[in-house]
């Protein structure tokens, strides 16, 4: 019994990164993604009885998250939304196809972070580990905010390419 309990909890915790990626890609907004992620977690708990251990947790989680994204869209003012319903549905389909490799990519990411130049690694850490705003990073590194923004973007692109190059198979298929 105890093992089963923890299996569910571990599934829930180990899928948090994937859940965040999925919800963020559908909404295109960091703050909204966090809100919907929390709502989704709550619903996953409430509907835990519907989930059969051994079946596809990720698929169940993303289906639940999709409904939460749509519910959020209903409540949210139109001007705060980046995408319309049709686009959101397209993004959901495209994301669901890809996220099965998320754990593998997360492991590769750790190696790729080590391979980054010191400068880029410092930048990524300042942004993601220390949580600094761009303007603060720019001040600390004595550079312009726009330059930091560009450099951060290039660092992300380098990481994507590194993870892709080290993956066993293709990560990105063309979206439908």
Rg, C-alpha atoms of the chain: 18
Q: Which of 71, 83, 121, 167 is close enough to bind other proteins by CB under 8 A? A: 83
Q: Which of 10, 56, 100, 117 is close enough to bind other proteins by CB under 8 A? A: 10
The DSSP 8-state label assigned to residue 80 in this structure reads G
Judged by CB under 8 A, the chain residues 132 through 151 that form the site for other proteins are 134, 149-150
For residue 148, the minimal CB distance to other proteins (Å) is: 10
Q: Give the other-Cβ count within 10 Å of 143's Cβ.
A: 14
Helices within the chain (DSSP H only): 2-14, 16-27, 30-46, 57-75, 85-98, 102-115, 118-124, 134-141, 145-166
- What the block records as the tokens of 6 is 């923890």
Q: Give the other-Cβ count within 10 Å of 14's Cβ.
A: 13
Task: Give 75 or 129: the residue with its C-beta nearer to other proteins.
Answer: 129
Q: Which of 116, 156, 166, 167 is close enough to bind other proteins by CB under 8 A? A: 156
- Number of residues in contact with other proteins under rule CB under 8 A: 73
Judged by CB under 8 A, the chain residues 90 through 109 that form the site for other proteins are 90-91, 94-95, 98-99, 102, 105-106, 109
Using rule CB under 8 A, residue 116 touches other proteins: no
Judged by CB under 8 A, the chain residues 36 through 65 that form the site for other proteins are 37-38, 41-42, 45-46, 48-49
Q: Which of 75, 118, 129, 142 is close enough to bind other proteins by CB under 8 A? A: 129
- 3-class state of residue 174 by DSSP: coil
What is the distance between the alpha carbons of residues 138 and 124, in angstroms, rounded to a whole number?
Answer: 13
Using rule CB under 8 A, residue 67 touches other proteins: no
């Amino acid at each position: 019994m105890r093992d089963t309990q923890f299996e569910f909890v571990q599934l829930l915790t180990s899928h948090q990164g994937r859940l965040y990626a999925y919800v963020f890609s559908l909404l295109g907004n960091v703050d909204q993604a966090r809100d919907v992620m929390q709502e989704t977690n709550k619903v996953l708990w409430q509907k835990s009885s519907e989930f059969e251990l051994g079946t596809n947790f990720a698929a169940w989680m993303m289906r639940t998250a999709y409904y939460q994204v749509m519910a959020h869209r209903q409540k949210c003012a139109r001007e705060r939304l980046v995408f319309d319903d049709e686009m959101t549905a397209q993004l959901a389909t495209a994301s669901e196809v890809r996220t099965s490799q998320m754990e593998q990519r997360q492991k590769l990411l750790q190696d790729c972070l080590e391979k980054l130049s010191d400068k880029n690694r410092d930048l990524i850490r300042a942004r993601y580990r220390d949580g600094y705003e761009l303007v603060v990073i720019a001040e600390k590194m004595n550079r312009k905010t726009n330059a930091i923004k560009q450099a951060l973007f290039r660092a992300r692109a380098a990481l994507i390419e590194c993870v892709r190059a080290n993956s066993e198979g293709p990560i990105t298929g063309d979206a439908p």
